[in-house]
Structure 1
Amino acid sequence: MVAEAEVMHQAAVPVLEVQYHRCVAKGVDEVVGMSAAAAVAAPAEVGVEVEVAVEVPQMGSDQSNGAPSVSVEMLQFVPNIRSGSFADIGPRRYMEDEHIRIDDLSAHLGSLLVCPLPSAFYGVFDGHGGPDAAAYMKRHAMRFLFEDSEFPQASNVDEIFLQSVENSVRRAFLQADLALADNMDISRSSGTTALTALVFGRQLLVANAGDCRAVLCRKGIAMEMSRDHRANYVEECERVAASGGYIEDGYLNGVLSVTRALGDWDMKTPSSSTSPLIAEPEFQQTTLTEDDEFLIMGCDGIWDVMTSQHAVSIVRRGLHQHDDPERCARELVMEAKRLETADNLTVIIVCFVSELSAPQQEQQARPRSCKSLSMEALCNLRSWLETDR
């Protein structure tokens, strides 16, 4: 079932009109692209108007209205957070994905959390070996993150706060992993990847264990905020080898397609020893600016069939057209299905600006320039026309 999302207000965007002038060259001095010898024979009174299309690059809007240029430093950007999500079973028989989407974390947790505003939390959990581990994380992720891990409390963002948040998220991942081992209702062969994103003020912190991916759109350019923990990740392969594991045909120990996950306790060694499969997350952090338009969080069913830039382009085009992140998430899932993905599909789109400005419209008429022909060129043209007749 597809949840309907309210379409945000879309302001009308004026179409820029490109001005151009018709120019008629009257003499040989204005001939373009002709040799000097050919131009000498042309009398001054001969002028023929020939229109030649000239490409004009799109330029940014000028500041003729007197508005001053405002830098990011002068204008403290505050994210305007809104989001949408969509999940689809794809070609699989069972759905093993889960996700969490909270646009106002402070309001959601109430007195449990004092944090910089705005605040938000998102999570994507891609299960394998059955849906149990991912479903468990959806039910208990908020408890592990914000209740049991002594999450830091602060009104303002600084380096100490951010480091404390990272440490808390790391503990939450590891505690959740151990809880999956202790839960007798969950199969020891069931596991899940985990990708989370936290926003506090202008700070974005992404934690990842597995092959879900977070991609930030910065002025239309895809900026990956996580790395896929798979066999093609060289540093990860080196870690696996150092811990006594191996990669066979792209699979960890010939069994699992990821090298980090929560659960999968049939593949993990006791906590006192090093295991090739770990739940330790990797972190990436950035300070959001007005150039940062939105974040895509998706399971590997998306990234198996498209690049990060392809996904960003699809979402950006959708936001320009209808400004609805929920609809963009669905469009991205539908594109992955069209490309014949073989997996479940889950996408979260998190917007950081109230509305994307529409791309400059293509001009209805291409700007043109006029050039004169020399007498020799005119004679050649007349001869060609007469011969053709």
Structure 2
Amino acid sequence: MGIYLSTPKTDKFSEDGENGWVRYGLSSMQGWRATMEDAHAAYPDLDASTSFFGVYDGHGGKVVAKFCAKYLHRQVLKNEAYAAGDIGTSVQKAFFRMDEMMRGQRGWRELAVLGDKINKFTGMIEGLIWSPRSSEGNDQADDWAFEEGPHSDFSGPTSGSTACVAIIRNNQLVVANAGDSRCVISRKGQAYNLSRDHKPDLEIEKERILKAGGFIHAGRVNGSLNLARAIGDMEFKQNKFLPAEKQIVTASPDINTVELCDDDEFMVLACDGIWDCMTSQQLVDFVHEQLSSESKLSMVVERVLDKCLAPSTAGGEGCDNMTMILVQFKKPVLPVESTDKQHESPTTEAAPETDAKSGESESN
């Protein structure tokens, strides 16, 4: 299909860091894909008591993933709910805010800076189109000032990105996800999914898609997108009579809040290039095995990427871009009276990986 290279790009971008409560290592690799469309964010010290980690898997271009990596955590910090201690609400609003910020002249200009392909004949930037109508104005006071210009009516990018982020404050872990990137926690060696893959065939997604006027063909929204939720993809968000959370494709994240306990060893955030090749439990087992002999977390992640990389493009699996963040919890401490409860599954949504597999086979 023209999307693969003749030989994979196996050079990696890797990073390690730590503070008083977490250690992390991350790595990303382009692999067989013709372009690298993943992005990530790792801020162990988002503020004095909070860590932020996120993976963003772009499709149709890299610009939306890069935009999210640059701005989403900033919007979490700026939201008034964050100052009030409501991390879940602040991150949910930040997901929707990404779509708002990418519209208009200012959005077009910011995306143009992050993109690297401009067609000399049409003037189009990778993943971008012009809108024939003016976009809805944003009345919210913000430092993202309105700009006049030739792209004032730009309705946003036709490309999009998944977003899976984890925010740690004290013993609280908040995971927000839109798309099929995934967050998994290891508790006493057992993998628990802290996010759900948003595929079009899931009943709750199918119901929204059909009600908004879309359809599903061959497991894809309107026969094209194999995700039911994403940031960007503005062509699926054009119904002016519906709120953002009810559009054919929505940026609305699932929010999952977990109280960390002494049994929690590490968590993994990764794009679907990893999950196409390994189940959540297989990845947790592999990481455990590697940690017995390797202390540098980015090196453990690099070994995961190498393990997942396909020897050829014949099968498809193992040919995607790959990005993964591994976060070790240093000292999760809970009050004694609540520790017994924490030996159960982290939340009702954080089912063991073996119970949350129904949508995985639909990802290919």
* 2:269 is the counterpart of 1:280: no
Equivalent in the alignment of 2:34: 93
Once residues 256 and 3 of structure 1 are traced to their aligned partners in structure 2, the CA distance between those partners, rounded to angstroms, is: 28
Structure 2 stretches of 5 or more lacking a match?
A: 1-10, 112-127, 129-156, 312-316, 332-364
Change (3 A) 1:204 1:6: closer
Equivalent in the alignment of 2:91: 169
Once residues 142 and 353 of structure 1 are traced to their aligned partners in structure 2, the CA distance between those partners, rounded to angstroms, is: 23
What's the CA shift for 1:323? Answer: 2.4
Check whether the contact 2:160–2:233 (CA below 8 A) recurs between aligned residues. Answer: yes
* 2:80 is the counterpart of 1:150: yes
* 2:319 is the counterpart of 1:342: yes
Once residues 120 and 298 of structure 1 are traced to their aligned partners in structure 2, the CA distance between those partners, rounded to angstroms, is: 17
Equivalent in the alignment of 2:158: 189
* 2:264 is the counterpart of 1:264: no
Check whether the contact 1:216–1:294 (CA below 8 A) recurs between aligned residues. Answer: yes
Equivalent in the alignment of 2:21: 80
Structure 2 counterpart of 1:238, from 193, 207, 213: 207
Once residues 338 and 312 of structure 1 are traced to their aligned partners in structure 2, the CA distance between those partners, rounded to angstroms, is: 20
Provide, for residues 191-236 of structure 1, a one-character-per-residue CA deviation record: whole Å limited to 9, x for no partner. 1111110001010000001110000001111000000011343322
Query: What is the letter of the counterpart of residue 216 of structure 2?
Result: I
Query: What is the letter of the counterpart of residue 200 of structure 2?
Result: A
Q: Secondary structure at the match of 2:224?
A: coil
Structure 1 counterpart of 2:271, from 296, 299, 322: 299
Provide, for residues 344-368 of structure 1, a one-character-per-residue CA deviation record: whole Å limited to 9, x for no partner. 00000000137xxxxxxxxxxxxxx
* 2:55 is the counterpart of 1:133: no
Q: Secondary structure at the match of 1:343?
A: coil
Equivalent in the alignment of 2:186: 217
Calculate the TM-score normalised by the size of structure 1: 0.64
Once residues 96 and 323 of structure 2 are traced to their aligned partners in structure 1, the CA distance between those partners, rounded to angstroms, is: 24
Change (3 A) 1:180 1:325: same
Once residues 205 and 100 of structure 2 are traced to their aligned partners in structure 1, the CA distance between those partners, rounded to angstroms, is: 22
Change (3 A) 1:124 1:6: closer
Structure 1 stretches of 5 or more lacking a match?
A: 9-78, 108-116, 155-160, 355-389
Once residues 313 and 199 of structure 1 are traced to their aligned partners in structure 2, the CA distance between those partners, rounded to angstroms, is: 23
Q: Secondary structure at the match of 2:93?
A: helix
Check whether the contact 2:310–2:319 (CA below 8 A) recurs between aligned residues. Answer: no
Q: Which runs of 4+ in 1 moved over 6 A?
A: 4-8
Provide, for residues 327-350 of structure 1, a one-character-per-residue CA deviation record: whole Å limited to 9, x for no partner. 111111112114741210000000
Equivalent in the alignment of 1:76: none
Check whether the contact 1:216–1:223 (CA below 8 A) recurs between aligned residues. Answer: yes
What's the CA shift for 1:166? Answer: 1.0
| Percent identity (aligned) | 35
Change (3 A) 1:3 1:211: closer
Alignment of 1:362-377 (within 5 A): none
The count of aligned residue pairs is 267
Provide, for residues 148-183 of structure 1, a one-character-per-residue CA deviation record: whole Å limited to 9, x for no partner. x224336xxxxxx3xx21111111111111112332
Provide, for residues 125-144 of structure 1, a one-character-per-residue CA deviation record: whole Å limited to 9, x for no partner. 11111111111112212322
Equivalent in the alignment of 1:102: 43
Structure possessing the higher radius of gyration over alpha carbons: 1
Once residues 30 and 240 of structure 2 are traced to their aligned partners in structure 1, the CA distance between those partners, rounded to angstroms, is: 34
Once residues 150 and 234 of structure 1 are traced to their aligned partners in structure 2, the CA distance between those partners, rounded to angstroms, is: 34
CA RMSD of aligned residues (A): 2.4
Higher strand share: 2
Change (3 A) 1:347 1:6: closer
Check whether the contact 2:29–2:322 (CA below 8 A) recurs between aligned residues. Answer: yes
Once residues 275 and 13 of structure 2 are traced to their aligned partners in structure 1, the CA distance between those partners, rounded to angstroms, is: 23
Check whether the contact 1:318–1:324 (CA below 8 A) recurs between aligned residues. Answer: no
Mean CA deviation greater in 204-213 or 132-141: 132-141
Q: Secondary structure at the match of 2:53?
A: strand
Once residues 215 and 43 of structure 2 are traced to their aligned partners in structure 1, the CA distance between those partners, rounded to angstroms, is: 38
Q: Secondary structure at the match of 1:136?
A: helix
What's the CA shift for 1:265? Answer: 1.0
| Greater RCO, 1 or 2 (C-alpha within 8 Å, sep 6+) | 1
Provide, for residues 313-334 of structure 1, a one-character-per-residue CA deviation record: whole Å limited to 9, x for no partner. 1111111221222111111111
